[in-house]
């Protein structure tokens, strides 16, 4: 005769109704010669199995409820260590908490029993699954007689009558609800009282009057009443919401309420000081972010910082730069924003020229001037030799014949729109320096040969300082 397995039932105290369902199933399995016995184990001590008594083929059934969560991870590791004893480990999902797919689990659709509309039907499927897992020894199963089934039927009818009649007698309904949220962190949370915006909340009503449920989520944006046992609602604004659930008709309605805090996410923003300045210049960025305590700046010019404000940031060249600020909070939620800043080019008049000797035998002291000015539209030349001022409105090169060979201070004034001006001066000597040098050498050699070697020590243009 094959041995019948022992069943160890691990459960918590927060699902008495479901524990009773499970115990009734195990009693029927035992009566049908499918299991030898079952041993219920509750609370934190539930994981302390009598390892010495465990036999191959024995089964461990875990009812997954909220109070199991603190011990679940450690308990599952412990159960896995026992699998070398050829044990069957079964997890029955009562609440929406993760289950270990490495074990047997019920219901097979993974929808928690507490969230199913018809729990009797759900537990019926669980019982059929366990019957297949534990067949009767010798193929014989005790048959329940008609009287036993009649007793269950009568009890069910009485229970339904009580559910319907008691609220009528006392003019009230029992009502409660739970909810879980998914927020900006994109994580599912169970039995929480806070979340970040936007926050999607999924509600589950526990009431004997499922057809007369009315929800008020405490949100001014809620325009119509919400009904049903499993509603969802999206909270888009930060704040503390009082969620109310009413069950039953007006004369015997019952209600309950809970609070949900929707916390704001960081909002990144900043102000730019001195935007549009002329290069090179400095910008300062004032942080206007809210609901954040950590910051990261990318200032578009190769500089980054984690200071709250980015002050006196140097931009040496003109152009458009994209500045980005990322603001985050202690939970790692971050948002960023960016703005374009402009460093302008200095377009005020800028006067410059270069001079070159262009004389010949007829024009011994002629010089050519190339106008290199920028951002100007009118030019005035003063050649420093007493000649009249020369005004032009273009940048064409000009020539000028000086009266004699000496140094002249030439000035160019560039203006724009006849208002802003800039002036540039330079000393010119109307002769090629190479010839000037040779002439000086000849002159000095004739008049004062002793200076010959001394002159060679000076630059070509310095030779002009020596008299012929």
| pLDDT at residue 252, rounded to an integer | 63
| pLDDT at residue 181, rounded to an integer | 86
The Cα 424–Cα 379 span in angstroms is 11
For residue 17, CA distances in Å to 63, 92, 130, 271 come to 12, 14, 19, 61
Reported CATH class of domain 175-263: mainly beta
| pLDDT at residue 444, rounded to an integer | 55
Fold of the domain spanning 270-343: Immunoglobulin-like (2.60.40)
Is residue 284 a contact partner of residue 274, using CB atoms and an 8 Å limit?
Answer: yes
| pLDDT at residue 162, rounded to an integer | 79
| pLDDT at residue 446, rounded to an integer | 59
For residue 15, CA distances in Å to 46, 155, 449 come to 15, 21, 122
Domain residue spans of the chain? 6-143, 175-263, 270-343, 353-431, 434-465
Is residue 198 a contact partner of residue 333, using CB atoms and an 8 Å limit?
Answer: no
pLDDT in tens, the chain (468 residues): 457 899 999 888 778 888 898 999 999 999 999 999 988 887 656 677 888 888 888 999 998 888 887 778 888 888 888 877 788 999 999 888 888 878 888 888 888 988 887 888 889 999 999 999 999 987 544 444 567 678 888 888 988 887 766 555 554 557 888 888 887 666 666 667 888 888 888 888 887 666 788 999 999 888 888 888 889 999 999 999 999 998 877 666 788 899 999 999 999 999 999 999 998 999 999 999 999 999 999 999 999 999 999 999 999 999 999 999 999 999 888 899 999 999 998 888 999 999 999 999 899 999 999 999 998 999 999 999 998 888 899 999 999 999 999 999 999 999 988 878 999 999 999 987 544 445 555 555 556 666 555 555 544 434 443 333
The reply to whether 6-143 and 270-343 are identical in fold is no
Fold of the domain spanning 6-143: Rossmann fold (3.40.50)
Tell me which CATH code domain 353-431 carries. Answer: 2.60.40.10
Burial class (CB within 10 angstroms; exposed 0-12, middle 13-18, buried 19+) of 368: middle
| pLDDT at residue 423, rounded to an integer | 94
H or E segment at 41? strand 37-42
């Amino acid at each position: 005769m094959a041995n019948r397995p022992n069943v160890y039932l691990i459960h918590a105290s927060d699902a008495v109704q479901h524990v009773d369902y499970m115990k009734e199933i195990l009693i029927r399995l035992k009566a049908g010669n499918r299991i030898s016995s079952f041993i219920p184990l509750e609370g934190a001590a539930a994981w302390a199995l009598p390892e010495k008594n465990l036999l191959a083929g024995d089964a461990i059934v875990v009812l997954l409820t909220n109070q199991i969560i603190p011990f679940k991870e450690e308990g599952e590791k412990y159960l896995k260590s026992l699998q070398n004893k050829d044990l069957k480990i079964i997890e029955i999902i009562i609440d929406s908490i993760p289950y270990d797919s490495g074990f047997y689990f019920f219901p097979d659709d993974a929808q928690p029993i507490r969230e199913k509309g018809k729990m009797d039907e759900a537990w019926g499927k669980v019982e059929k699954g366990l019957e297949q897992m534990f067949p009767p020894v010798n193929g014989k199963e005790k048959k329940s007689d008609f009287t036993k089934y009649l007793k269950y039927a009568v009890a069910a009818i009485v229970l339904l009558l009580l559910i319907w009649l008691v609220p009528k007698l006392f003019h009230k309904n029992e009502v409660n609800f739970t909810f879980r949220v998914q927020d900006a962190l994109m994580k599912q949370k169970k039995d929480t009282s806070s979340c970040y915006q936007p926050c999607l909340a999924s509600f589950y009503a526990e009431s004997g009057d499922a057809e007369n449920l009315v929800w008020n989520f405490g949100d001014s944006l809620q325009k119509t009443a919400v009904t049903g046992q499993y509603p969802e609602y999206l909270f888009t604004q930060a704040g503390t919401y009082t969620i109310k659930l009413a069950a039953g008709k007006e004369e015997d309605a019952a209600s309950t309420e809970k609070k949900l805090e929707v916390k704001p996410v960081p909002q990144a923003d900043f102000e730019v000081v001195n935007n549009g300045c002329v290069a090179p210049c400095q910008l300062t960025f004032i942080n206007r972010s809210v609901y954040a305590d950590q910051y990261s700046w990318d200032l578009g010019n190769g500089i980054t910082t984690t200071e709250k404000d980015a002050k006196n940031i140097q931009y040496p060249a003109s152009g458009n730069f994209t500045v980005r600020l990322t603001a985050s909070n202690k939970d790692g939620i971050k948002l960023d924003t960016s703005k374009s800043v402009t460093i302008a080019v200095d377009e005020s008049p800028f006067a410059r020229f270069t001079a070159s000797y262009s004389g010949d035998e007829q024009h011994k002291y002629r010089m050519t001037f190339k106008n290199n000015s920028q951002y100007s539209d009118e030019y005035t030349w003063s050649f420093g030799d007493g000649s009249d001022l020369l005004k032009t409105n273009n940048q064409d090169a000009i020539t000028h014949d000086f009266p004699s060979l000496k140094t002249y201070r030439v000035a160019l004034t560039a203006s724009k729109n006849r208002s802003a001006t800039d002036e540039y001066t330079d000393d010119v000597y109307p002769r090629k320096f190479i010839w000037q040098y040779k002439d000086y050498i000849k002159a000095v050699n004739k008049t004062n040969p002793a200076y010959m070697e001394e002159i060679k020590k000076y630059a070509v243009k310095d030779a002009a300082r020596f008299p012929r």
